[in-house]
Amino acid sequence: MRTEGKQDTRRAASRRTREVVLDGLAISPGVAIGPVYDTSEIRAETPRRAIQAAGVEQEKARLTAAAATSRKQVNKLKLRLSVLPEEAQEELEPLLDAYAMMLGESRLLRGARKRIETELLSAETAVVDEAEAIAAAILLAKDDDKPGLRRRAGEVREIARRLTRNLTHAGFRSFKDVPAGAILVAEELTPADAALLDPTRIAGVATEEGGSDGHTAIMLRALGIPSVLGCTGLTEAARRDDPCVLDGSNGTVVLRPSEKSLSAGKEALAVHARERTKLGKLRRLPAETLDGEEVDLQANLEIPAELPLIANAGAHGIGLLRTEFLFMNRDSLPDEEAHFEAYRPIVEATGEDGVTIRVLDWGGEKDMEALAEGMEPTYAGPNPALGLRGVRMLLKRPELLEVQFAAILRVAALGPVRALLPMVTVPSEVSQAREIYERVAKRLRRKGVALPDKLPMLGAMIETPGAALAADAIALEADFFAIGTNDLAMYTLAVDRAESAVSHLYDPLHPAVLRLIQFATEAALRLRMPVSLCGEMAGNPRLVPLLLGLGLRSLSMNASAVPRVKQAVRTLKIDDCARFARRVMEQSDPARIQELVMEFGKE
């Protein structure tokens, strides 16, 4: 028995010293080497609890007090912003503003109070139920912007978490004791947690939960801390003070590394430092080919919180500002002033580089309570992706378009902007929208509102096969094109990327998709009309030779992709790209096209 005990002890010791390699999501690039510091948050116990009718007012008072405490905490977090890097400040401030709004007279608090009154639930139970109902409705929306839906659901859950912790008097975790140079390991981090991290002390961050497109991921990138999220098995395998090598570029965490792994980690750390210096120098260099052709690299903006990442990436302007964030999680429509105040800081921050503002792209399937109340239920239809969405819906509800147009025209006096119409399929949609556009401009001028002498350009998104094939006719009505490759590929191939059974068929390099891009681009170029391409294709450095070869000179992408795309542009010659594009367009097999793309530049 004693011998068996010693063997168990040796086996346990061996497990504690054995190297463990874990894979997760690469969130923030960089390599960190240091000891593990594990941290966890005491779970707030919120057992389901019913109340008597006589206790309703008391529970509502508890909820009101918890909301007031939560608002104070959010305001305290705002005071901390001044000690964070500028990029992180600008990332977190709009999020904290959104938190403050949800802690006011919001749908979440109204719904929780109603549940207390009608279902006789305790305050914490009512908050949890209402938050999950709202989050579930957001996540079930048939919207191509899945990351945006997850972020919005996460915001609701984060506020519910804060409320329930204050209702149950459960403390929040602190990061004051994290030693310098440590790698922080946790089950999950919230954006508010990330705001408390000191990037000069913490070498890296690894968590078991979390995704690449949430607010926490954006915060970690803004702070510049090498990070890996979604690392299954991490908290069970890691122990405090374990040596660790974290690679935020490849999404790996090595616990108790061998000499070989430690040596490889040190080499990767040196390589990343050199690469970061190299890409950093590109920020101020032009996106120009070897033969002097300039390429306009712009960034897509999903929410204002991403603005500092765009500035840091060296993008020249915003090629696609999605405006749906203004309509989410609210029960009343944003008015002209709300739109103007949302656009103004973005236009001012972007300066002469310019902003392309896409007006609301909504279909009956999206979780926008304020809009849904004014729409007939039949508008959603059995297949919202093929129903009343984008410009179709706006022309049915012209008052929505008028409000957005008015704000866009007003903000155009502060800097260069363009207005973009979503889901255009026929030329008449552009001409009808232009009539509204010009009518709004005349009304504003009569009121003495300052507008630019020349109205901002009004463009059309090309994101369906019909629009691409009718591009030469649409070009006669629009001032510019923005080719949306994500939806274009989806509609062309009849594939929903979020549908696991068919997602493998989604291929933007399918010959049909490429020919539609080519057709739309050439239609614009024949009229010497600006044309840009946005979507995941624009941010893929390997596709740059093909896109330039097809005639495109303006690409809009996620901010993080800009440096590498710029690096690719600066290694190319336009003639080589044109020859390569001709070779690709001769192919009929997507697999062969993929091979050519991967082989380009190797010969």
How are the residues of the chain apportioned to helix, strand and coil, as percentages rounded to the nearest 5? 55, 15, 35
Residues tagged active-site: 215, 534
d(CA 222, CA 88): 5
Question: What is the spatial distance between Cα 102 and Cα 160, in angstroms, rounded to a whole number?
Answer: 10
Instruction: Give how far Cα 29 sits from Cα of 228, 261, 427, Å.
Output: 9, 18, 44
What distances in angstroms separate CA 66 from CA 124, 166, 248, one per listed residue?
A: 10, 5, 37
Q: Taking the C-alpha atoms of 157, 159, 164 and 169 in order, what is their torsion angle to the nearest 10 degrees?
A: 140
Q: How far apart are CA 326 and CA 76, in angstroms?
A: 25
At 211, list the tokens.
């995704």
d(CA 164, CA 154): 15
Query: What is the rounded CA–CA span in Å between residue 492 and residue 313?
Result: 32
Integer CA distances (angstroms), 172 to 89, 161, 328, 536, in order: 21, 10, 28, 38
End-to-end CA distance of the chain: 67
Cα maximum dimension of the chain: 96
Asked if 430 and 478 touch (Cβ cutoff 8 Å), the reply is yes
Other residues' Cβ atoms within 10 Å of the Cβ of residue 473:
14
How far is the C-alpha of 518 from the C-alpha of 578, rounded, in Å? 12
DSSP code of residue 229: E
Pair of tokens at residue 131: 């938050």
Comparing CA positions, the residue from 397, 421, 408 lying closest to residue 479 is 421
- Taken as a whole, the chain contains a residue count of 603
Which residues, other chains included, contact 145 with Cβ-Cβ below 8 Å and sequence gap of 6+?
Answer: 302, 322, 324
The C-alpha atoms of residue 368 and residue 319 are separated, in whole angstroms, by: 24
Separation CA 570–CA 593 (nearest Å): 23
**Phi-psi category of residue 494: left, alpha or beta, with phi > 0 → left and psi -120 to 50 → alpha:** left
Q: Residue 534 class from Cβ within 10 Å (0-12 exposed, 13-18 middle, 19+ buried)?
A: buried
In angstroms, the CA 51 to CA 115 distance is 11
Cβ atoms of 145 and 322 closer than 8 Å: yes
Q: Which tokens belong to 501?
A: 């059974």
Structure tokens at 125: 């139970």
Alpha helices, DSSP H only, in 355-415?
369-372, 391-396, 398-411
Are 484 and 538 contacting, i.e. CB atoms less than 8 angstroms apart? no
